[in-house]
A and B are shown apart, each in its own frame.
Chain A
Amino acid sequence: MFTSNPFAALSASLSPAVMQAYVVVMFILVIAGTLFDVVHKGSARYFFENFRRSKAKAARPVGGGEALSIAVQTAVVDVLASGEFCNPRRRIAHLLGMYGFVLYVLATVVLVFNASASPIWTQLWWLGGLMICVGGYWFWFFIRVDVAAEGNSPFRLVKADLFILSLLASATLGLLWAASGGGVGVLFGLYILATTVLFAGVPWSKFAHMFFKPAAAFEKRVSEANGTAANLPTQTRDDPEQRARHSMELLRDAPMDMGLGIKREAPRHY
């Protein structure tokens, strides 16, 4: 089960060219859906206007080298390590879902386009699907704020759930289809339906967040570097001049890392 390519077995009843064409169509749908989303919501226009405004108000210019360093920091901390999440459980669930999705999609493409691919790709496909399921169901049933904090039922569905639900349905049905021996049947039909909704529903789901979130994180870091910081304070205790202010007398001998305060406990007191 974990070594045989489920798409190679499927080629007996479905031409590999059809499967490859489906993958290409899904790829085009994601690109088209993202572009439509960008134009419809005006997010790119907003982003560049904001960027220009922040640059015009900059207290100090950010050079090309520094911008590159900020881009690397954004890629490593905000994108690869999901650094924007303040809740560690959500961060782990997101990392599982994100890396699971990358493995799952990459392995699907390799297995569809190369029927004799190494069994390691089949194992990566399984691993990716399982990672999506673990991270996704953990999020869906236990971490989601309206379930964990507001006490809503986990089975209450809204339009905003389109992305997570279609992703979970695609991964779950794909794994069940492969585990039941593959071939064309009801499970295969549901798997294709969920996958089509996932990739074709980009304009209505939050699928496109994987493209605009890194851009927003980069803009945030640049605004911190150039001193605008969305009008947030930029003074910190790291600056010896600030430490010497009389208002800071109470913290003169205090350690620089004083640990967490109210954020020590999860916000569940309501």
Chain B
Amino acid sequence: MPTFVYMTRCDGCGHCVDICPSDIMHIDKTYRRAYNIEPNMCWECYSCVKACPQHAIDVRGYADFAPLGHSVRVHRDEQKGTIAWRIKFRNGTEKNFLSPITTKPWGQAIPKLAEVPAPSKEMRDSELLYNEPKYIRLDDGGLRTLESAGLKLKMGVYY
């Protein structure tokens, strides 16, 4: 379900171009509005949809169910710290979700790679990705479980 831009709503601010992990959101040279240059390469991550201040970006549904009136729209409210979803099913059912934004500031939860020792030659030659052993706990500590992390399983979605 790649994204597309309603050009009449877009004001060409560039937030979607900035955030797209696939670098496929660009500014049209003629109309100066954003557009998805390569829908086939869209990861469907919704980053641009959430970042657009004008709600000018939507997601094109698959052809087998899109014409039947479904809708999946999202509103990311930074000031209130929430992200809200409104899902309309093709039979008219509507579901609404409201959750906290869990994006962490740069440098807080995401490691600063500049401060991490560079990979050794042995690591470079290994088939494992950089830092991979640490993430999958092959180096030390055994399997990561809720218990080892001091957590308890709770009902429902829990942050």
Show the binding face of A for B, using Cβ within 8 Å: 84-87, 90, 144-146, 149-150, 152, 158-160, 216, 230-238, 242, 245-251, 254, 256-263, 267-270
Enumerate chain A residues within 8 angstroms of B98, measured Cβ to Cβ. Answer: 233, 235-237, 242, 245, 247-248
B82 touches A232 (CB 8 A): no
Q: Which size class do B's interface residues fall under?
A: 35 or more
Enumerate chain B residues within 8 angstroms of A233, measured Cβ to Cβ. Answer: 73-75, 84-86, 96-98
Enumerate chain A residues within 8 angstroms of B19, measured Cβ to Cβ. Answer: 262, 267
Known contacts A231-B71, A251-B82, A254-B81, A267 near B15 by CB under 8 Å: yes
A49 to B23, CA, bound (A): 36
Enumerate chain A residues within 8 angstroms of B86, measured Cβ to Cβ. Answer: 231-235
Task: Tell which of B27-35, B60-68, B110-118, B128-136 binds the partner.
Answer: B27-35
A257 to B80, CA, bound (A): 5
A87 to B11, CA, bound (A): 10
Residue in B13, B51, B55 whose beta carbon sits within 8 Å of that of A145 in the complex: B13
A146 touches B29 (CB 8 A): yes
Enumerate chain B residues within 8 angstroms of A230, measured Cβ to Cβ. Answer: 55, 73
Enumerate chain B residues within 8 angstroms of A258, measured Cβ to Cβ. Answer: 78-81
A242 to B80, CA, bound (A): 12
Residue in B31, B51, B96 whose beta carbon sits within 8 Å of that of A235 in the complex: B96
Enumerate chain B residues within 8 angstroms of A245, measured Cβ to Cβ. Answer: 98
Enumerate chain B residues within 8 angstroms of A158, measured Cβ to Cβ. Answer: 29-30
Give B39-69 as 1s and 0s: 1 = Cβ < 8 Å from A's Cβ atoms.
Answer: 0000000000001011100000000000000
A231 to B92, CA, bound (A): 12
Enumerate chain A residues within 8 angstroms of B157, measured Cβ to Cβ. Answer: 246-247
B80 touches A236 (CB 8 A): yes
Can you list 12 A-B pairs with a CB-CB distance of less than 8 A? A144-B32, A150-B26, A160-B31, A232-B75, A233-B97, A242-B98, A246-B156, A246-B158, A248-B82, A249-B159, A259-B79, A262-B15
Enumerate chain A residues within 8 angstroms of B102, measured Cβ to Cβ. Answer: 250
Enumerate chain A residues within 8 angstroms of B53, measured Cβ to Cβ. Answer: 86, 263
A251 touches B100 (CB 8 A): yes
B88 touches A261 (CB 8 A): no
Enumerate chain B residues within 8 angstroms of A238, measured Cβ to Cβ. Answer: 80
Enumerate chain B residues within 8 angstroms of A257, measured Cβ to Cβ. Answer: 79-80
Enumerate chain A residues within 8 angstroms of B2, measured Cβ to Cβ. Answer: none
Which residue of B54, B78, B102 has the most chain A CB atoms within 10 A of its CB atom?
B78
**Which 6 residue pairs across A and B have the least CB separation, nearest first?**
A233-B84, A267-B18, A233-B86, A267-B14, A86-B53, A261-B78
A232 touches B81 (CB 8 A): no
Known contacts A235-B96, A257-B80, A263-B53, A270 near B23 by CB under 8 Å: yes
A262 to B98, CA, bound (A): 19
Enumerate chain B residues within 8 angstroms of A149, measured Cβ to Cβ. Answer: 14, 17, 27
B81 touches A237 (CB 8 A): yes
Known contacts A233-B86, A247-B99, A150 near B27 by CB under 8 Å: yes
Nearest CB of B to A46, in Å? 10
B32 touches A145 (CB 8 A): yes
A270 touches B71 (CB 8 A): no
Give B146-159 as 1s and 0s: 1 = Cβ < 8 Å from A's Cβ atoms.
Answer: 00000000001111
B18 touches A249 (CB 8 A): no
Identify the closest chain B residue to A239 (Cβ): B98
Identify the closest chain A residue to B154 (Cβ): A246
Identify the closest chain A residue to B102 (Cβ): A250
Enumerate chain A residues within 8 angstroms of B18, measured Cβ to Cβ. Answer: 267-270
Enumerate chain A residues within 8 angstroms of B99, measured Cβ to Cβ. Answer: 247-248
Enumerate chain B residues within 8 angstroms of A145, measured Cβ to Cβ. Answer: 12-14, 27, 32
